[in-house]
Amino acid sequence: MVTSNRPVPTIMTTAVRIFELSLGQMLWSRRSVFLAFIAAAPVALAGLIRFATFAEPRLLPQINGERLDGTALFGLMIWLLYVRFIVPVLGMFYGTSLVADEVDDKTITYLFVRPIPRGAVLIGKYLAYFVCTALLILPSVVLVYFLLVPIGGGSIGRSFPLLAVDLGVLAAGIGSYGALFAWVGARLKRPLVVGLVFVFGWEPGVLLFPGYLKRATVAYYLQGLVPHTMPQEGGVNILFQVFQEVPPVPLSLAALAGVTLVGVWLAARATETREYVLEQ
Amino acid sequence: MVIAADHVSKWYGQVIGLNDVTLEVSPGITGLLGPNGAGKSTFMKLITGQLKPSKGTIRVLGEPIWRNPALYYRIGFCPEQDAFYERMTGLEWVSALVRLNGVSGESAMALARQAIEMVDLADAAGKKIGAYSKGMRQRIKMAQALAHEPELLILDEPLAGMDPLARRRTIRMIKDWGRSGRSVIVSSHILHEIESMTSNILLINQGRILAEGNVHQIRDLIDEHPHTVHVKADETRALARALLADADVLSLKFESGALVVQTGRPDAFYSRLTAIAASGEFGAIHEVTSPDDNLQAVFKYLVK
Amino acid sequence: MPIHDQGYRRYGGERAAHGRAWAVIAFAGIRTMLRKRSFLGLLLVAWAPFFVRAVQIYAAANVPQASFLAPTPEMFRDFLAQQSSFVFFIAVYAGSGLIASDRRANALQIYLSKPLSRVEYVFGKLAVLLAFLLLVTWVPAIVLLIVQIVFTGDVSFFVDNIFLFPAITVSAFVQTIAISATMLALSSLSKSSRYVGILYAGVIFFSQAMYGVLYQVTRDSSWAWVSFNANISQVNAFIFRMRPTYETPWPVSLAVLTIVVALSAVILERRVRGVEVVA
């Protein structure tokens, strides 16, 4: 018989157990079809571009007299697809539902009547989200890299450090967006609306203008880590480029780490104190 | 005391779930009884620490339950809702939950197997829960509640969806559990289920506790409802004439071969009836029963 | 008969003809949404641009210095385009749980056990979302037309731009039908309205992002057919006889929207069933 004098396991021990329980469910759930599609679409697009430029090399546009090469294309995909869309959307998708899914499915009861800290449930699920998302997205990035970089004579070996940095940036993005939305999901009743406004309204809007407001975004700090310079043309874009402020790398790393740790801590705290009333 | 609630109230916005409840639950099997919407689930959620009281305090096994995860080593809870990780097998699910009770992998498997055998699901342990019938799902829920051998078992509608055989086995298991020194709190709105398990009840309605304790004691205390006694005798009319002389007999009715008496003082009435039967003055008295000395009557009288 | 039977009596009144059950579902859905204060707030906020435009029209008609604010047919097209952000949020709020919630509650079996066909069920649900989306697109645009006549005191603008009424109507219906069909199809795919909301946002914004990449690579805006919103914009431009934003021909955009609606119908046909066959 299990005695009651035992101390409660530590948060990390419990989190690991919850992680083991949740990872399989997340990876093999139907929702991962959505994740797989999101991961596959850029690969398909990259394949299409590779095929098209192979058939018609002049397809690639010129900017300021220079034709775009594969490395620039790869940077474009990283920025436009992965950093500005895929990573935030997946962070919102999974982050807001870490505990909410268990509440909707009414399985949260089984976890909350165990001798484990409630916050560990959230942390374990967050770890499962991170691993699940990274396992699907990062290989997709690698495939896109191998498809695009050789275009226009680019070297896979020479550009490899860029890939490594990009993978790190995306992992940092997955971690920080996930943590932020984990907190939003744990605190608010309607986290989806807030998430959508933040990702598709606040971040794109605020990043365009000078000032301090952009520091209240995750994309600003991710921008500081992205190694690619975006090709710019046109008066308006150049003007924006003048105003665009890119934070230094150490600040970006510190901010993203802060967002991740604080987000997860706040989310865990919210889970500890909140009452979950299940629908009858 | 297993549960001690002190002026506990719980409201959800404008709706009161539990209204100023003060009670103590002793060790043993206790039935929590009430109609739908009475507050049973709210009370269950409060004593399992899923909700915090809006007012008052709740102590379970001598300790506050809210945000006290260590207490769950000693508590097992079988919730009402039909919710599982459907893709897992019964054994995987129960052992995963036992592992969360701080038990290592091998031991967790062993405890899970033991619990699954106890609920007669050993044959289906390797099947996915999604393929289980309603009764099997109910039993696997019971298994996860008792796998870690808790001191206190809290069961919310444990017999829902079970077939009659499974019901009997589960009732027997609950009674065995109570006899082994553990405490069980069972909630239900089905009176005869509770009656078959225990005579110790907690009657709740509209967020208030109407009565607690032994069902027969409660019945005795319900003064405004006279007791009905059913007497089968050879000479019912002569017996009726004799009983009518007694001021405690409030009314008499004849049924085929029997007399139905309403009395305000059942103890005195039974004594007199025993004396009459012994004397044989009015022929043989074949049977004496009280159709309303039971939970149904208590429930009917208290829950208006 | 002196003592009347108090037992169960069969309903002896009139019954509505078959085929009207969709209206019951629609009205019930509309009533349910209107009971939510936050949703009413969202609808109110969605009408804010209408009030701004109404003030603009009033100023243009009554303040000579503000005559440059006079309404043009473009203003109505721009108004509908600006409402698209509210359309997005209303579609997510009101539409994501339309079928998903019924699937979660296992209510489909109950619905379809009544004298109600699957088509009526789908149309009833579609009507709920259409009603709210038209309430923030077609209704305010038409009211703006009326406001223009009322504030100017003459019908010359209306007569000179007589195509505006059908243009606003067709444009609003194209937009709302495409969005409603898509949202309803997505809602039938899951039991979680939250997941459906994100799926819908994914469809809209992912297609936009994909177009963005293709445009950056090729510098050719004829790839706009990839983007859901761009297709609606192209069709609207044609309806309002305006210069289109992208190089995609409007029949291509219309074809894409038609395919999306048809695909949604196929998904709904497969998913809206009384029983789910589990292999």
Give the mean model confidence (pLDDT) for residues C126-149: 95
Q: What is the token pair recorded at B173?
A: 């298991």
Q: Do A49 and C217 touch (CB under 8 A)?
A: yes
Q: Residue A128 pLDDT > 90, yes or no?
A: yes
Domains of chain B: 3-220 (3.40.50.300), 223-302 (3.30.70)
Q: Do C198 and A89 touch (CB under 8 A)?
A: yes
Give the residue with greater pLDDT, A1 vs B121: B121
pLDDT given for residue B39 in this prediction: 87
Q: Do C192 and A38 touch (CB under 8 A)?
A: no
Q: Do C199 and A100 touch (CB under 8 A)?
A: no
* Domain assignment of residue A122, yes or no: yes
Longest dimension (CA), chain B: 75
CA of A94 to nearest chain C CA: how many angstroms apart?
A: 9
* Domain assignment of residue A35, yes or no: yes
> Which residues of chain A have a CB within 8 Å of the CB of B85?
21, 25, 107
**Closest to B83 (Cβ–Cβ): which among A3, A106, A280?**
A106
* Domain assignment of residue A280, yes or no: no
Residue B70 at interface with chain A, using a CB cutoff of 8 Å: yes
CA of A192 to nearest chain C CA: how many angstroms apart?
A: 7
Q: Which helix (H) or strand (E) holds B29?
A: strand B29-33
The pLDDT tens digits for A29-63 are 777 777 888 889 899 989 988 888 777 766 666 65
Phi (first) and psi of residue A5, to 5 degrees:
-85, -5
Residue C212 at interface with chain A, using a CB cutoff of 8 Å: yes
Rounded mean pLDDT of chain C? 90
Measured torsion, CA atoms of residues C64, C69, C72, C74, in degrees rounded to the nearest 10: 170
Grade residue C1 by pLDDT with cuts at 50, 70 and 90: low
CA of C206 to nearest chain A CA: how many angstroms apart?
A: 7
CA of C159 to nearest chain A CA: how many angstroms apart?
A: 39
The pLDDT tens digits for B101-115 are 888 888 899 999 999
* Domain assignment of residue A3, yes or no: no
- Chain A nearest-CA residue for C86: A197
CB contacts < 8 A, A to B, total 84
Q: Residue C266 pLDDT > 50, yes or no?
A: yes
Nearest to B87 by CA among A253, C189, A31: A31
**Closest to A80 (Cβ–Cβ): which among C194, C195, C213?**
C213
- Chain A nearest-CA residue for B94: A110
Please answer whether residues B248 and B269 qualify as being in contact, where contact means their C-beta atoms are separated by less than 8 angstroms: yes
Q: Residue A188 pLDDT > 50, yes or no?
A: yes
Give the mean model confidence (pLDDT) for residues C109-133: 93
pLDDT given for residue A229 in this prediction: 55
Q: Residue B177 pLDDT > 70, yes or no?
A: yes
Q: Do A109 and B71 touch (CB under 8 A)?
A: no
| Percent of chain C predicted with pLDDT > 70 | 98
The pLDDT tens digits for C96-114 are 999 999 998 889 889 988 8
**Closest to C202 (Cβ–Cβ): which among A89, A96, A104?**
A89
Residue B3 CB partners (closer than 8 Å, separation 6+): B23, B24, B25, B47, B58, B59, B60, B185
Nearest to B276 by CA among B259, B254, B294, B256: B259
pLDDT given for residue B293 in this prediction: 66
Phi (first) and psi of residue B120, to 5 degrees:
60, 40
CA B169 to chain centre: 16
Please answer whether residues B82 and B134 qualify as being in contact, where contact means their C-beta atoms are separated by less than 8 angstroms: yes
> Which residues of chain B have a CB within 8 Å of the CB of A28?
87
| Percent of chain C predicted with pLDDT > 90 | 58
Pairing of strands B183-188, B152-156: parallel
The pLDDT tens digits for C184-212 are 999 999 988 888 998 899 889 889 888 98
Instruction: Parse chain C into domains and list their residue ranges.
Output: 21-271
Give the mean model confidence (pLDDT) for residues B56-68: 92
From the candidates A6, A114, A121, which should be mutated to test the interface with B, based on the most B CB atoms within 10 A?
A: A114
CA of A8 to nearest chain B CA: how many angstroms apart?
A: 5
CA of A9 to nearest chain B CA: how many angstroms apart?
A: 7
From the candidates B12, B73, B92, B180, which should be mutated to test the interface with A, based on the most A CB atoms within 10 A?
A: B73
> Which residues of chain A have a CB within 8 Å of the CB of B101?
2, 114-115
Residue C201 at interface with chain A, using a CB cutoff of 8 Å: yes
What's the whole-model pTM score?
Answer: 0.83
Distance, in Å, from the CA atom of B288 to the CA atom of B261, rounded to the nearest integer, reads 11
Query: Burial of C112 by CB count in 10 Å (0-12 exposed, 13-18 middle, 19+ buried)?
Result: middle
Distance, in Å, from the CA atom of A102 to the CA atom of A199, rounded to the nearest integer, reads 24
- Chain A nearest-CA residue for C220: A61
The pLDDT tens digits for B220-247 are 666 567 888 889 988 889 899 988 888 8
Q: Residue C219 pLDDT > 70, yes or no?
A: yes
Give the mean model confidence (pLDDT) for residues C203-229: 88
- Chain A nearest-CA residue for C199: A34
**For residue B54, what are the CA distances in angstroms to B20, B37, B43, B58, C253?**
10, 18, 12, 11, 57
Give the mean model confidence (pLDDT) for residues A246-254: 88
- Chain A nearest-CA residue for B48: A113
- Chain A nearest-CA residue for B142: A110
Grade residue A235 by pLDDT with cuts at 50, 70 and 90: very low
> Which residues of chain A have a CB within 8 Å of the CB of C212?
80
Grade residue C173 by pLDDT with cuts at 50, 70 and 90: very high
Q: Do A2 and B83 touch (CB under 8 A)?
A: no
CA of B112 to nearest chain A CA: how many angstroms apart?
A: 13
From the candidates A28, A113, A275, A276, which should be mutated to test the interface with B, based on the most B CB atoms within 10 A?
A: A113
- Chain B nearest-CA residue for A8: B70
Q: Residue A234 pLDDT > 50, yes or no?
A: no
pLDDT given for residue A3 in this prediction: 46
Phi (first) and psi of residue B3, to 5 degrees:
-130, 135
Distance, in Å, from the CA atom of A185 to the CA atom of A95, rounded to the nearest integer, reads 7
Q: Do B103 and A3 touch (CB under 8 A)?
A: no
- Chain B nearest-CA residue for A10: B102
Q: What is the token pair recorded at A90?
A: 């997946």
Residue A256 CB partners (closer than 8 Å, separation 6+): A172, A173, A175, A176, A218, A221, A222, A225
* Domain assignment of residue A1, yes or no: no
Q: Do A31 and C195 touch (CB under 8 A)?
A: yes
**Closest to B73 (Cβ–Cβ): which among A6, A107, A117?**
A6
Grade residue A233 by pLDDT with cuts at 50, 70 and 90: very low
Residue C147 at interface with chain A, using a CB cutoff of 8 Å: no
Rounded mean pLDDT of chain B? 87
Distance, in Å, from the CA atom of A86 to the CA atom of A144, rounded to the nearest integer, reads 14
Pairing of strands B3-12, B55-60: antiparallel
> Which residues of chain C have a CB within 8 Å of the CB of A54?
none
Q: Do B70 and A109 touch (CB under 8 A)?
A: no
pLDDT given for residue B224 in this prediction: 63
Which residue's entry shows tokens 């899951």?
C190
**Closest to A192 (Cβ–Cβ): which among C197, C210, C218?**
C197
CB contacts under 8 A, C 82-121 vs A, are 85, 89, 92-93, 104
Q: Do B72 and A114 touch (CB under 8 A)?
A: yes
Q: Residue B155 pLDDT > 90, yes or no?
A: yes
Grade residue A206 by pLDDT with cuts at 50, 70 and 90: confident
pLDDT given for residue B4 in this prediction: 93
Rounded mean pLDDT of chain A? 83
Distance, in Å, from the CA atom of B50 to the CA atom of A275, rounded to the nearest integer, reads 7
Q: Do A113 and B48 touch (CB under 8 A)?
A: yes
**Closest to B99 (Cβ–Cβ): which among A17, A109, A117?**
A17
- Chain A nearest-CA residue for B102: A9
* Number of domains within chain A: 1
pLDDT given for residue A2 in this prediction: 44
Q: Do A273 and B69 touch (CB under 8 A)?
A: no
Distance, in Å, from the CA atom of A126 to the CA atom of A23, rounded to the nearest integer, reads 10
From the candidates A192, A228, A278, which should be mutated to test the interface with C, based on the most C CB atoms within 10 A?
A: A192
How many helices (H) and strands (E) chain A has is answered by: 13, 2
Grade residue A130 by pLDDT with cuts at 50, 70 and 90: very high
Q: Residue B163 pLDDT > 90, yes or no?
A: no
Q: Residue A1 pLDDT > 50, yes or no?
A: no
Grade residue A207 by pLDDT with cuts at 50, 70 and 90: confident
* Domain assignment of residue A278, yes or no: no
The pLDDT tens digits for B239-290 are 999 888 888 888 999 988 899 999 888 878 888 888 888 888 888 888 888 8
SS3 C59: helix
Q: What is the token pair recorded at B270?
A: 């039974």
Give the mean model confidence (pLDDT) for residues C226-234: 94
**Closest to C216 (Cβ–Cβ): which among A76, A101, A190?**
A76
Q: Residue A237 pLDDT > 60, yes or no?
A: no
pLDDT given for residue B223 in this prediction: 59
Grade residue A5 by pLDDT with cuts at 50, 70 and 90: low
Give the mean model confidence (pLDDT) for residues A142-150: 91
- Helix residue ranges, H only, B48-132: 90-99, 105-118
Give the residue with greater pLDDT, C278 vs B174: B174
